[in-house]
Amino acid sequence: MELILDRVSKRYPNGVQALQEVSLTISTGMFGLLGPNGAGKSSLMRSIATLQHIDAGAITFDGVDVVREPEKLRERLGYLPQEFGVYPKVSAHDMLDHLAQLKGLSNRAHRRDVVESLLKKTNLWQHASRRLGGFSGGMKQRFGIAQALLGNPRLLIVDEPTAGLDPEERARFHHLLTEISSGVVVLLSTHIVSDVAELCQQMAILAQGRVVLQGNPLEVTDALEGRVWKRFVTPDELAAMQGRLTIIASRSVAGRRLVHVYATERPDADFEPVAPDLEDVYFHALHAAKAP
């Protein structure tokens, strides 16, 4: 079972080229799509979910031509968009029951069992009678997954699911995604690098509507071994490095500025080698995409 994107392109009426010949093959399991805001991630998610037409290219899932037969994909699709609205005065149970009816679960007894099962799977059964307006951000996201799982989808799309969650809710959500990814194609779109590092067997980085890197997170990280260097710098030193060195990351650590630099050899004696991580890969790929 595979989701195949072949040279998918999309330009909006305002002239923005959101996607430029995106080609990916995504197999069963968790696939991470990384990219900064405006990279085209949500545009790609909406295109796959048949919420908008593409201008060129092809999308197929398990042999189904998604562009020509969108209704066939919708029967097998679960989707949690970045912005997931709820009716605040409706209980979790009643809302999920209503959505199940819209999904075609007409048998009352079967629907009751499905709703109960999904609320238990997402650890919301004890809150089934609570109004959705009283849910925390993490609880709302788990409810979003519950509604996305209605109908036993074979393709699950989740767009920025952990943005704004506290560490405990984020860990709970990670565990839930891991549980449901067996035997299902799960496409996880995010700008949070650690989500992909912890969850995904395959990944791609999107920048300016193009795929700039793809592969296994461990393998693409190993490819930078021996080429990432670090040192603490002053603001003046950092300014002097701009343009002279390829700075792929700059962050504050205990009140000091730490930079990571990409170079095939030690830039100078003050730099120390550092084992690369996926964040180094991410920023290096974005830097390379901007290079002329």
What residue ranges do the domains of the chain occupy? 2-221, 226-274
Interval 262-270 mean pLDDT: 93
Strand segments (E) across the chain: 2-11, 17-27, 29-34, 56-61, 64-65, 77-80, 155-159, 185-190, 202-207, 210-215, 228-233, 246-253, 256-262, 272-273
CATH number for the 2-221 domain, one of 3.30.413.10, 1.20.1290.10, 3.40.50.300, 3.10.105.10? 3.40.50.300
- pLDDT above 80 (res 182): yes
Residue 128 phi, psi (nearest 5): -60, -35
- Please say if the pLDDT value at position 75 is more than 70: yes
Is 222:191 a contact under the CB 8 Å cutoff? no
Question: For residue 233, what pLDDT band results from cuts at 50, 70 and 90?
Answer: very high
Q: For position 291, what pLDDT does the model report?
A: 67
**Type of residue found at 63:** G
Q: In the prediction, which pLDDT does 83 show? A: 74
Higher pLDDT: 207 or 180? It is 207
Average pLDDT over residues 25-35: 94
Mean pLDDT, range 19-30, rounded to an integer: 95
- Give the span between the Cα atoms of 123 and 176, in whole angstroms: 9
Kindly report which listed range (20-34, 74-88, 141-155) carries the lowest average pLDDT score: 74-88
Question: Residue length, the chain?
Answer: 292
Residue 292's pLDDT band (cuts 50, 70, 90): low
Q: Is the pLDDT of residue 45 over 80?
A: yes
- pLDDT > 80? residue 159: yes
pTM of the model: 0.88
Average confidence score pLDDT of the chain: 91
